[in-house]
Amino acid sequence: MEGASEEVVLRTNSIWKNPFDDNQYRGIELANGLRALLVSSSRTDMSAAAMSVKVGSLMDPINYQGLAHFCEHMVAAGGSQKYPDENGFMTFAESKYGYFNASTGSDKTSYVFKVPSECFEEALDRFSQCFVSPVFTESLAEREVKAVDSEFWEVANKYYKKLVAVRKALSKKGHDYRKFACGNSKTLRTVPGRTLKQAVKTFHDTHYSANLMTLCVIDNRPLDEMEETLKTLDFHKIPNKNLETKVWNEHPYGRDDLGFLVNLAGSSSVIRLEFPTGDFDQFYNSQPAEYVVQLINCPLQGGLVANLKKREWIRRLLAHHTTIARGFGLFSVTISSTRLGLKHVPEMLELIFSYIGHLKRVGVQEWIHKEILSSRMLKERHSKISSYSRAEDLSEALGTVPFEDVLKKGFADSFDQGTIYRVLDHLDPYNMNCMVMSSETDDSNFPLRDEHYDFMYKKSKIEEQGKENCRVAMEKSSGTWSLPDRNPYLVDMPNVEHIEYLKTNVKTFRDDEFVNVRHQQKSCPKEPELEIGISVVLPSLCDDLQEFSLAYMFAQYFKHERLVCVY
């Protein structure tokens, strides 16, 4: 503890940051248990703040599905005792050319805004009142349930919503993860004799507490001034109910909930493999899943993506790991498939597991981990992340990470070989569900209908022989695969010289009737990037549709197949 006061019970400036970060950071904990990260950034002209609350859709009452999302709407759009006008905070932010939004996840809800720095203090005061004394009215509830219903219908036909709905339908009956997160007017009006206002007030009173809240504030003023401002506002008056953080120790997928193939129709051709995992957020220092994600996504020759593209089975492939809620996670491989690929799903799965087996056999390599870290460091140094996004990310990270490490999330500076192997062990054909969506699928005779998104699908067990073929492919050595070569251009501490912009920096190497080649020193400071632009003038394209189509296809081929060498 580096000093305290009546409002502040803990203060620390001992927060790790990467060597290129010139922002100043301070963590404080208020007497009511609210934890706040102050970020002083001299370069920002739009100040921002975000509040993350450890309350999400998995905590919905079973007879009020979507209530956490609805509560988010009520807090964001409602007034407060000090500022009673409905939608007052959003109106204020927009009147100052700022922005305000909120979102609900499985286990958290986030509120975030940005405004010009000169009106930030007033904005923070109004923002604090949303949590100190929100006012819920019947008229507001009626308006916002329509807004929630509108959100639902806006995305109801999106392919990714169907895939998530199927994922939930495959999970254990009775598990919180099966709940309908978005909600709509039907699920929010199911209890006779009880108004929406009563339901949302009960939910808010039960789950919203200062000790479950984490705040991030980004401004261009010094830290001491920012802290003094925060202490004069009413964040310390947010009620603290000393609630326990909800953790879901039981995974939504047990042995009986795995090994399924689901077929459904949609506007896109998508194959998705999903593997239940543990909650890897506790390993923020090593980011074990990121190692596996990077290798599966790598487009270089010898890798999975290049192999599947060469066969013309896929357009894109994206591996991803997410902690769905505190206690459990999911590793997914999502494939944008070609028509030909849909005819070779079993063979595609065998190749995927063959590559996973290769990663296990060659062993976890520390140099790959270091390259991932160097890339992240470089990207962070030269990124232009808005204060709005930064505030949201840091407020959410603070909910799971101590003050001193809150900036480490995303920087795997610790190499943990054993935990990476644990991630790979989850990628097993017997620990998987598979979904296949196609625009050519006829679902008229499919036996199952999703209750909320109203689409048909078919669920069947993956044949035992199919799983066994994948297991054999995973264990059998293959000369098909190879790890990417080391990247000779990555450095740990790049020293990039700033060159002032001058028109005379443009040099012409060749200029004739066939070719014009020029070079210009990049003027952006501290950006170690090379940009190559090639413009080919083909007058015939303007007159011939076939020529234009062929040129377009060649450009796409060149982009996806030939430029992989510069990845």
Q: CB of 484 within 8 A of CB of 302? A: yes
Residue 29, φ and ψ in degrees, nearest 5? -120, 125
User: What is the SS3 assignment for 115?
Assistant: strand
Closest CA to 359 of 319, 323, 327: 319
Q: Dihedral through CA 198, CA 201, CA 205, CA 206, nearest 10? A: 60
Say whether 72 is catalytic: yes
The two structure tokens encoding residue 232: 């004069």
Q: How far apart are CA 213 and CA 186, in angstroms?
A: 30
Cα–Cα nearest to 202, from 89, 88, 73, 60: 60
| Six token digits for residue 361 | 């056999």
**Residue 225 CB coordination number (10 Å):** 13
Q: Are 430 and 143 in contact (CB under 8 A)?
A: no
Residue 285 has which token pair? Answer: 């220092």
User: Containing H/E element for 519?
Assistant: strand 516-520
Distance between CA atoms of residues 305 and 312, nearest Å: 11
Among 80, 52, 76, 98, CA closest to 143: 76
8 Å CB contact between 483 and 9? no
DSSP label at residue 7: S
Question: Out of 29, 72, 274, 396, which one is annotated catalytic?
Answer: 72
User: The dihedral of CA 187, 193, 195, 199: what is its sign?
Assistant: negative
Backbone angles phi, psi at 291, to 5 degrees: -60, -50
> How many Cα neighbours within 13 Å face the side chain of 268?
18
CB 464 within 8 A of CB 346: no
Count other C-beta atoms under 10 Å from residue 298's C-beta.
19
DSSP string, 42-106: TT-SEEEEEEEES--GGGS-TTSTTHHHHHHHHHHHSEESSS-STTHHHHHHHHTT-EEEEEE-S
List, in order, residues 6 or more apart from 236 with CB less than 8 Å away: 7, 30, 31, 32, 34
Location of structure tokens 């009620």: 239
Length of the chain: 567
Q: For 512, which DSSP code? A: S
Tokens 């959410």 belong to 396
* CA 56/CA 443 separation, integer angstroms: 33
Rounded alpha-carbon distances, angstroms, from residue 455 to 132, 165, 441, 445, 527: 42, 10, 12, 12, 48
Q: 216 has which bridge partners?
A: 37, 50
* Neighbouring residues of 398: CB distance < 8 A, sequence distance ≥ 6: 27, 35, 37, 52, 214, 215, 216, 406
Q: Which of the residues are catalytic?
A: 72
